[in-house]
Amino acid sequence: MALIQWYPGHISKAERQLKEQLKRVDVVLEVRDARIPLASHHPQLKDWIGDKPRILILNREDMITNTLKQEWQEWFKNEGENPFFTNAKDGKGVKAINKASQGCGVEVNKKRQSRGMLPRPVRAVVIGFPNVGKSALINRLLNRKIVASARKAGVTRQLQWVRISKDIELLDAPGIIPLKLENQDDALKLAICEDIGEAAYENQEVAQKFVDLLVNLGTEYVLKERYGLDPLDLTGEEFIFKLAQTKYQNDQERVARQILQDFRKGYLGKVSLEYPPIEAK
């Protein structure tokens, strides 16, 4: 499979600006995709933010099962994290983010008061891969559409501060991805979930690997239910080929796009691409 790499110019510029602005920020809201909570974590984030408070947000909770949500909650808790689950599209879970951010502001202003300084709004930044729902989350926090939001990577192209209330100022940053995607398994999951730009990959290759991944995870039945073809004894390549033969006039590109879009829009049901790692005893 061809290497998946994507680093458009606006991301390089935004990353430089973000690092400069981080000095002014009190709390970091890290947004990840609930379908791939590990693959959608930026490996350099902790180095950038140091000991600043971080609120971990797993967005698109509506696209995973409640059971899996509880399993992730437990796993992250064991890792010393307290994830907030949201569906930024309909606003579910957003009030808790607001409250947690304001809680960080209380600490900031206690410190300012002790130095004889006046209180000010808490400064938060929203960071995450492209298309994980950062802008939709900000619009929900604001209760109005103030930043551009769409279901594709690379819509936000510059940093902007927005005032949420007298208590919070928020920095909306473009999706940030590593200069080089070292882990190609993670890169594949990002491509399947549309959390990197389409220019980074070939639809047919990604769709084939998606079928293989579902078979490996034991959730290939969603494909059989949707398309009437059982992928269990087929490779992903064979599945795409056969489906194209039987239903799509031999158009494999159309099949690949259809399968990926069906997954991204939730038509395959609540399908996750990652599960909490099981620690070896």
Give the annotated binding-site residues. 59-62, 175
| SS3 at position 86 | strand
Element holding 32 (H helix, E strand)? strand 27-33
Distance CA 55, CA 15 (A): 20
264 contact partners, CB below 8 Å, separation of at least 6 = 151, 193, 194
Distance CA 94, CA 98 (A): 6
Distance CA 239, CA 46 (A): 40
Q: How far is CA 58 from CA 19, 83, 87, 139, 223, in A?
A: 23, 7, 9, 16, 25
Element holding 97 (H helix, E strand)? helix 94-114
Binding site feature residues for GTP: 59-62, 175
Instruction: Name residue, tokens 């059982």.
Output: 230
Q: How far is CA 146 from CA 164, 167, 172, in A?
A: 10, 18, 10
The DSSP letter of residue 186 is: H
Distance CA 168, CA 151 (A): 26
Q: How far is CA 246 from CA 147, 228, 253, 268, in A?
A: 44, 10, 14, 20
